[in-house]
């Protein structure tokens, strides 16, 4: 599918409150037909999501420690996760430390997922992911580990107000760019 048709379809699914605010852009090279051009998403004429640029508007993480020590990332811990730590330690760990250990384990897992998602994002081809988005359901796109699919689903008009409001806990565990687009969409409700 050509870029102009793809862009037209993506903009057709864009939420009415974000029309004119969110734009899909592509920079192609006429004589390099075998290589994909650079695609990016702009919000209020600012390049917010560029697949190949790690110094974009949204913060990109470089190490697991940086993610674990970021105070903006809040990691909720369930009762089951605390119980798993209690069983693993055979009850020898004080109660207040169980939460700290469970949060640390979960943050390590999430940091690894975040870094792998970021690495795949820098290698991804926006056109391929956008075509995949057009052929999958909103539920699959929002549950996906792919950052671009998450972003496209969040700005989609098929995401209702109630669903957006009820996703706040789920969004805390997503990449900062996904959180940015979630807040953008939530602020337009």
pLDDT in tens, the chain (189 residues): 777 888 899 999 999 999 999 998 876 544 444 455 567 788 998 888 876 555 555 566 677 788 778 887 778 888 999 999 999 988 888 888 998 899 888 888 888 877 777 766 654 567 788 889 999 999 999 999 888 899 999 999 999 999 999 999 889 888 888 999 999 999 998
Q: Is 164 helix (H, G, I), strand (E, B) or coil?
A: helix
Q: What is the pTM of this model?
A: 0.71
Q: 78 to each of 66, 82, 102, 113, 125, how far by Cα in Å?
A: 23, 7, 9, 19, 36
State the greatest distance between any 2 C-alpha atoms of the chain, in Å, as a whole number: 67
Note whether 154 and 11 are within 8 A (CB): no
């Amino acid at each position: 599918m050509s870029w102009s048709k793809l862009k037209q379809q993506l903009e057709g699914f864009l939420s009415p409150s974000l029309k004119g605010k969110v734009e899909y852009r592509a920079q192609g090279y006429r004589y390099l037909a075998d290589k994909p051009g650079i695609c990016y998403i702009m919000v209020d004429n600012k390049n917010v999501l560029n697949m190949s640029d790690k110094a974009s508007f949204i913060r990109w993480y470089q190490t697991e420690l940086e993610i674990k020590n970021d105070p903006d990332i809040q990691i909720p811990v369930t009762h089951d996760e605390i119980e798993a730590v209690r069983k693993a330690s055979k009850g020898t760990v004080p109660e207040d430390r169980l939460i700290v250990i469970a949060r640390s384990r979960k943050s390590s897992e999430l940091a690894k997922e975040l870094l792998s998602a970021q690495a795949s994002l820098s290698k991804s081809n926006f056109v391929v992911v956008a075509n995949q988005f057009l052929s999958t359901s909103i539920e699959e796109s929002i549950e996906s580990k792919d950052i671009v699919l998450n972003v496209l689903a969040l700005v989609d008009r098929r995401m209702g107000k109630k669903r957006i409001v009820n996703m706040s806990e789920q969004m805390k565990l997503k990449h900062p760019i996904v959180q940015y687009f979630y807040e953008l969409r939530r602020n337009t409700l």
